[in-house]
Amino acid sequence: MYTASKERYTTMEYDHCGNSGLMLPKVSLGLWHNFGDTANFENMRKLCFTAFDSGITQFDLANNYGPEPGSAEKNFGRILKEDLGVYRDELIITTKAGYEMWDGPYGNWGSRKYLLASLDQSLKRMGLDYVDIFYHHRMDPDTPLEETMGALASAVQSGKAIYVGLSNYDGETLKKATAILKDLHCPFVINQNRYSIFDRTVEKNGLKKTTAELQKGLITFSPLAQGQLTDRYLHGIPEDSRIRTDGRFLKESTLDEHRLDQIRKLNELAAQRGEKLADMALAWLLQQKEVTSVLIGASKTQQILDNIKAISSAPFSEEELKLIDEISLN
């Protein structure tokens, strides 16, 4: 039987999620990869235990995380039932709906029918009465925004979610959604978006700026650009890398000579700071005032322990920040 470390809150730092009362750990654990039915269950347990023992209280899921879709929630639900469930009131458990989950016209996008049915399924898979944050996973160009936001509000009103969030939205749509949710008195507190040294989409589409203006939280995923911002690809592509074994999210064509040169230069800068490249990439995000928390993924417990070190990284100088931009944006 798992017993959490009594020292779990001594090293992690927590920030308020926008102007809400909710505090989130600066580093959170995402279950996008390595928690599906193709992964080892005992390793999943160890990853969750290591995270919680290190003060990571937020575990981020979605209905379609797997493979197969739904299996990450199912496996996490088993971990809750057998081990972590006794600490439920110390956990922030989040899930999402917005991508294809089941066949037919009601298993995708942002209709009220889909979102509320999906939430019920997610709760059943995890064995929960409620989630702490329920996200709409992506913008839906064909469903009225009022309908999608109304479904999120209903999730809270029904007691099946405490807060709501938006994922993969842009700044303009975020403003419209926020206004609707405010009128509905719905506790919308956070945005979840891809963001890294190599992916600046939230800077270009107004999301980052708008998040700050509206005083909402921002949690970032893929902070290491699917492993590009690590030392894994400094000398080419290993045969056991995700590119070779999966290839759905990071394509071999991405790692051309220009990108490899960028990685090497960023690695040199990290070495000058006395850090690994991954540490620097995470610290770059954590030291931005708009970012509440950074979502990490892990296949080994040591990766979690290593990633947490970024919290205590030295501040960046103006020269270092300028050099990071020069390397990564050119």
Q: pTM for the full model?
A: 0.95
- pLDDT tens column, 24-75: 999 999 999 999 999 999 999 999 999 999 999 999 999 999 999 999 999 9
What's the pLDDT band for 1 if we cut at 50, 70, 90? confident
DSSP state of 200: -
DSSP state of 317: P
pLDDT recorded at residue 242: 62
Q: Is 16 exposed, middle or buried (0-12, 13-18, 19+ CB in 10 A)?
A: middle
3 state SS of 58 = strand
pLDDT recorded at residue 31: 98
pLDDT recorded at residue 252: 75
Backbone angles phi, psi at 32, to 5 degrees: -60, -45
Find out whether the peptide bond into 146 is cis, omega within 30 degrees of 0: no
With a pLDDT cut of 90, the percent of the chain lying above it is 91
Q: Is the pLDDT score of 147 beyond 60?
A: yes
3 state SS of 132 = strand
Q: Look up residue 41 and give its two tokens.
A: 């269950």
Architecture of domain 14-226+288-315: Alpha-Beta Barrel (3.20)
- pLDDT tens column, 159-214: 999 999 999 999 999 999 999 999 999 999 999 999 999 999 999 999 999 999 99
Q: Are 95 and 13 in contact (CB under 8 A)?
A: no
3 state SS of 229 = coil
Neighbouring CB atoms inside 10 A of 232's CB total: 19
CA distances from 293 to 97, 103, 127 (A): 21, 34, 26
